[in-house]
């Protein structure tokens, strides 16, 4: 698991505490810092907000380790296969190093086209991804099988929970946390009341996951009392393990 996702997981403790305190009931959506604590708080309102959860078809962004073909329609001698280096740069034949990490494929094509525009006249190029990180989501907390899952096609929050083995008896269905990375500095967090959504049949509120999303299902209050439970047959308290 990447360090960024580990930082996201750490944030769940704070948000879960806020949920139980009732403060989160007044705001089902928040933007929290991930990598930098010095980012201005005013950026939160401009970091995507609720729209980050409504964008149904996000474009894939190139990252280190990706491999793609660059094809030139009129200058095939420049055709090449390029790998994105760990620092986010690529090395292009006849041009040199260019930073491309974080760009979508159309943005990448425009960047390479501009770079070759210095030595070629209006180059016509196409980009084909060959090897890239497959879309995924992470389910953690009180689910049957926590872990990393491949994201194939449209998958909603409840479908993702089912893929991860469903809710445990200790799960708090009313405060499922959905984390979505906005950029390197900010992650958006939304509290989803799955229990209410399912009981009222409001399936339109069952959000679609984006690649890289993380679901965290906190414990309910009853589960915290599980070490000591009443024994029905004896009417006494016994310690369970």
Fold assignment, 67-131: wza like fold (3.30.1950)
Ordered by start, the domain boundaries in the chain are: 3-58+135-225, 67-131
Residue 67: pLDDT band by 50, 70, 90 thresholds?
very high
Q: Please determine, for residue 212, whether its predicted confidence score (pLDDT) is greater than 50.
A: yes
Q: Please determine, for residue 109, whether its predicted confidence score (pLDDT) is greater than 80.
A: yes
Residue 201 has a pLDDT of: 86
Residue 60: pLDDT band by 50, 70, 90 thresholds?
confident
Q: Which residue has the higher pLDDT, 154 or 58?
A: 154
Q: Please determine, for residue 43, whether its predicted confidence score (pLDDT) is greater than 50.
A: no
CB 115 within 8 A of CB 95: yes
CATH class of 3-58+135-225: alpha beta
Written as six digits, the tokens of 202 are: 């409001």
3-class state of residue 54 by DSSP? helix
Residue 32 has a pLDDT of: 57
- Closest by Cα among 143, 197, 178, 184 to 28: 178
Residue 153 has a pLDDT of: 83
Q: Count Cβ neighbours within 10 Å for each residue of 165-178 and write b for 16 or more, e otherwise.
A: eebeebbbbbbbbb
Mean pLDDT of all residues in the chain? Answer: 78
Residue 155 has a pLDDT of: 93
Q: What is the pLDDT of residues 14-29, one digit of tens each?
A: 454 444 444 444 345 6
Residue 13 has a pLDDT of: 43
Strand order in the sheet with 125-131: 80-83, 67-72, 125-131
- Distance from C-alpha of 233 to C-alpha of 141, rounded to nearest angstrom: 32
Q: What is the rounded average pLDDT of the residues 210-238? A: 69
Q: Please determine, for residue 214, whether its predicted confidence score (pLDDT) is greater than 80.
A: yes
Tell me the Cα Rg of the chain. 23
pLDDT above 70 coverage of the chain, percent: 68
């Amino acid at each position: 698991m990447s360090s960024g996702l580990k930082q996201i997981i750490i944030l769940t403790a704070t948000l879960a505490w806020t949920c139980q305190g009732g403060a989160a009931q007044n705001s089902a959506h928040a933007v929290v810092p991930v990598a930098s604590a010095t980012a201005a708080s005013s950026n939160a309102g401009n970091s995507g907000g609720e729209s980050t959860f409504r964008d149904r078809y996000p474009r894939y962004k190139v990252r280190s380790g990706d491999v793609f073909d660059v094809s030139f329609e009129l200058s095939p001698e420049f055709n090449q296969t390029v790998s994105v280096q760990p620092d986010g740069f690529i090395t292009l034949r006849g041009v040199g190093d260019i930073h491309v990490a974080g760009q979508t494929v159309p943005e990448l094509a425009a960047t390479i086209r501009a770079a070759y525009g210095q030595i070629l006249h209006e180059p016509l190029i196409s980009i084909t991804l060959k090897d890239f990180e497959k879309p995924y989501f992470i389910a953690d907390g009180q689910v049957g099988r926590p872990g990393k899952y491949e994201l194939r096609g449209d998958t909603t929050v409840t479908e993702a929970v089912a893929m991860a083995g469903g809710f445990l008896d200790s799960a708090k269905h009313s405060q499922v946390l959905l984390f979505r990375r906005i950029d390197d500095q900010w992650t958006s967090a939304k509290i989803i009341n799955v229990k209410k959504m399912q009981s009222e049949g409001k399936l339109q509120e069952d959000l679609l996951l984006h690649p890289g999303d993380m679901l965290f299902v906190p414990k309910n209050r009853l589960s915290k009392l599980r070490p000591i439970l009443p024994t029905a047959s004896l009417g006494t308290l016994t310690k369970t393990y």
